[in-house]
Structure 1
Amino acid sequence: MAKHSMPLQDLPCLGPQGSMLSHRMNKRKSRDCLSEGLDTECTPTELIQQLSPRHKHQRLIGKGKENGSNQFVLARRSRRKKECLSSGISWDHLPDELLLRILFYIPLQDLLRMSVVCKRWHRLAFDESLWHSVDLEGLTHMGPALQQVLKYGVRMLRCPRSFVEEMHFTGTGPLQIALMDLSSSIIPTSALESIICRCRLLEYLSLEGLQLSDTIISSLSQNPNLLQLNLCGCSGFSAPALADMLKSCTRIKQLNISWCDFNNDHVKSVVNNVSSTVTRLNFSGYRENLTLDDVKVLVTRCPHITALDLSDSTLLMADSFPVLSQLKDLVHLSLSRCYHIHLAALTDLGQTFPLLSVLDVFGIVNGSHLSSLKKEMPRISINHMPFSNIARPTPDTRPVSCLMWNRKCRLRFRL
């Protein structure tokens, strides 16, 4: 090396007469000075100024001239400080609780995408706290997705108008579902049995329009906390199974059991076993099966009914009004298409039911007669609700949304 060339950092020069001991001491002194400077809070520029020769000028910082005529100097930050700085912004150092709180605001599709990043994120993405409520409305071939969602401990499940192929659950433990809407879905009876048979905590349930079985109805008896049950348009179960279920579910407040595939025995099972806690009942659609005697039994068993729908019961006549007058809390009465009820008998309903505020008599009163009836009973809203919302998860008066019994699902699948 030429005598005039300089290393990256000035070191003490030793002449030929210098001893080895002097060389080692100078080298140790230089190292101590370097480490002392790096352990301080100085910036790299300040360290360079301390360790560089005083008679040399610091290089001018110029863009694109790092290798110019000025002296080129290197400085290195300690490894310990690097680790400290990087740990403050690393996802790996965040606790699970904080990450779960962040993931709580991520949509369903994004949550599934991030679950493949690493093992830890996969575990967090499928934590039960994130899958508390799921909306899979309209999803086709939903079997695998539904099976996974049930495994993650979902408590509120909304999937109306969905298609579920045949599926078999591997687990045998009870499910955590408390609210479930499977209305108007296409699902095999065996698959539905595998779900309902594992439910013990149901509070709100809608199986509207589904093909059921005695096994499903009997399994509902294992849910003593059931508050709202919608079986509108269901079929496939017997009268004894229905009677046993109604005897066991003693806390039901809203029951929609309209337009089912019923015979006289089914109707008798309902009126003789329905819980006295029922306050809203839809028992419409039984043209030739519901009689005045059935209404008498029903009123005696459930004296606290506030909303009653007996539409399309063609055997009912005006003589049913004195029986119904025993319902002192009645607010909403539906008698649509009960064609044997004469128009003149409706004018006295305002006095018969002092709390009545809604009356549905579609098919009985229309045109000019409807206007006259509204004038005679101004405090009663007449023919404003063509569809009943008793025990239904999404009332027809609301716009289409992901609400279910006035609750919104957090994770929602969007087509």
Structure 2
Amino acid sequence: MSKYSWPLQELPCLSLQGSVSQPKKSNKRKSRSCLVLGDGLDVESTPTELIQHDLTLHNPHTTQLVCKGKENDSNHFVLARRPRRRKEATLDFSWDHLPDELLLRILFYLPLQDLLRMSTVCRRWHRLVFDESLWHSVDLEGLTNMGPAMQQVLKTGVRRLRCPRSFIEDQYFTGTSSLQIVQLDLSSSILPTSALESIICHCRLLECLSLEGLQLSDSIIHSLSMNPNIQQLNLSGCSSFSAQSVGDMLESLHQLKQLNISWCDFSDSHVRNVVGGLSSSVTHLNLSGYRQNLTLPDVKLLALQCPNLQTLDLSDSALLTADSFPALAQLKNLHHLSLSRCYLINLAALTDFSAAFPALRQLDVFGLVNESHLTTLKTGMAHISINSRPFSNIARPTPTTCDSPVSPYHEFKMWNRRCRLRVMF
């Protein structure tokens, strides 16, 4: 034996039932998940007994190796892997992902000013903001210089538009299609007749209309006759239209129920054509303010034309006398009659009202009876309320009474309904 030779010795920890360990080749792409133990042993693909023995040599207190992974069910191999870092789930939300139907539902609850601000966000939102479903009813009361606003609102397909006491400059509605307006209130507004013509001539679905105090034209009156569904029409204080045009209009409105045509700039022929053109469907009529124009023949014709009248206001008719009572007594459904300031009617003629008008429940005679005689009159007609309605509510979009002052909520109603979009000052 050479002096540099050494006797063979048994290597520790490598005897496994007669098997001889082979030298381990280096792996340049060794997995990072391998657990390297003493003497070059790693966790992956190493017999369990060798790992446990090696760990015992390094740490005598260690008696068991906790193994993880489904590969360890048979206790043949041990795999120890570093837990991977899980990415936190992030919620990627965008308004652009919402469908149009859901966005329209959200926009429905916004007030008018906020809705207009939303229209400047992008083109899609601008299209949704002016969707017809959001502009069903609009209130622009008291708005000044509202020409452009009126143009935009009319193009949205609005059906209920309230803008009394507003100022509209000389702006024309440039649309070619018919408007969808069903209820329109322009009472006491300031607008040129030409601008009003451009609006009314595009209306064919009107049911309730108030043009109180406005200057009209024969063209506007003719356009109104093209709306056969009108049920309530308020033309109180209007002017500048002919007797023939108003008579022709009323003859075409077969569904008209309430008409307020009081205090207009009328002649005798105007009154005659109005009475002669009324349909039998009229149940509420205000024909007051014609001091020298309404006569007994007109009252007789009125009773024949409108046998279903329930409310009739003939106040301030200076030519009416008690001779008109037999004609009015033909109205079997009449329950409210106003004869205020008809000074030719004497007090004695009023005492027989209970017998002549059995269905009458309200009688207004302001200016005819003083306080001392009023008590006697009320006692003789206990079932009739006398002088309880100083103001006429016929066909007016916002009725008022002296008994119950107009509340802030009621003031902004139009024909007993509020508009959803309203300008807030």
Scaled to the shorter chain, the TM-score interval is 0.7 to 0.9
Give the corresponding residue for 1:51. 82
- Kindly provide the amino acid, as one letter, of the partner of residue 249 in structure 2: M
- Kindly provide the amino acid, as one letter, of the partner of residue 277 in structure 1: S
Deviation, 1:389, is 0.3
**Cα deviation per residue 1:298-346 (whole Å; 9 max; x = unaligned)?**
1001000000000001110011111100000001000000000001111
* Residue 326 in structure 1 maps to residue 357 in structure 2: no
Give the corresponding residue for 1:412. 422
Deviation, 1:100, is 1.3
Instruction: Give 1:137's match in structure 2, choosing from 138, 141, 144.
Output: 141
RMSD (CA atoms): 2.0
Mark the CA change 1:329 to 1:29 in structure 2 (over 3 Å): closer, same or farther. farther
Other structure's SS at 2:92 match: helix
Identity within the alignment, %: 67
Instruction: Give 1:399's match in structure 2, choosing from 407, 413, 421.
Output: 407
Q: TM-score, normalised by structure 1?
A: 0.81
Q: Which runs of 4+ in 1 moved over 3 A?
A: 17-20, 27-30
Give the corresponding residue for 2:158. 154
Distance 1:374 1:50 in 2: 104
Mark the CA change 1:230 to 1:77 in structure 2 (over 3 Å): closer, same or farther. same
Asked which structure has the greater CA Rg, the reply is 2
Deviation, 1:94, is 2.1
* Residue 271 in structure 1 maps to residue 275 in structure 2: yes
Matches within 5 A, 1:36-47: none
Distance 2:121 2:241 in 1: 47
Matches within 5 A, 1:252-267: 252-267=256-271
Instruction: Give 1:246's match in structure 2, choosing from 250, 264, 271.
Output: 250
Distance 2:225 2:325 in 1: 34
Deviation, 1:404, is 0.5
Deviation, 1:394, is 0.4
- Kindly provide the amino acid, as one letter, of the partner of residue 411 in structure 1: L
Deviation, 1:141, is 0.6
**Cα deviation per residue 1:164-198 (whole Å; 9 max; x = unaligned)?**
00002221110000000000000100000000000
- Answer whether contact 2:33 2:82 (CA < 8 A) is retained: no
Mark the CA change 1:124 to 1:285 in structure 2 (over 3 Å): closer, same or farther. same
Give the corresponding residue for 2:120. 116
Unpaired runs of 5+ residues, structure 1, are 1-16, 31-48, 53-73
- Answer whether contact 2:294 2:319 (CA < 8 A) is retained: yes
Q: TM-score, normalised by structure 2?
A: 0.80
Instruction: Give 1:179's match in structure 2, choosing from 143, 168, 183.
Output: 183
Distance 1:177 1:223 in 2: 11
More helix by share: 1
Mark the CA change 1:50 to 1:303 in structure 2 (over 3 Å): closer, same or farther. farther
Mark the CA change 1:50 to 1:157 in structure 2 (over 3 Å): closer, same or farther. farther
- Answer whether contact 2:34 2:81 (CA < 8 A) is retained: no
- Kindly provide the amino acid, as one letter, of the partner of residue 421 in structure 2: L
Matches within 5 A, 1:16-31: 18-20=26-28, 22-23=29-30, 26=31
Give the corresponding residue for 2:221. 217
- Answer whether contact 2:193 2:215 (CA < 8 A) is retained: yes
Distance 2:407 2:244 in 1: 38
- Kindly provide the amino acid, as one letter, of the partner of residue 407 in structure 2: P
Distance 1:103 1:196 in 2: 30
Mark the CA change 1:283 to 1:77 in structure 2 (over 3 Å): closer, same or farther. same
Give the corresponding residue for 2:304. 300
**Cα deviation per residue 1:339-394 (whole Å; 9 max; x = unaligned)?**
00001111111111111111111110121111111111111111111110000000
Deviation, 1:97, is 1.4
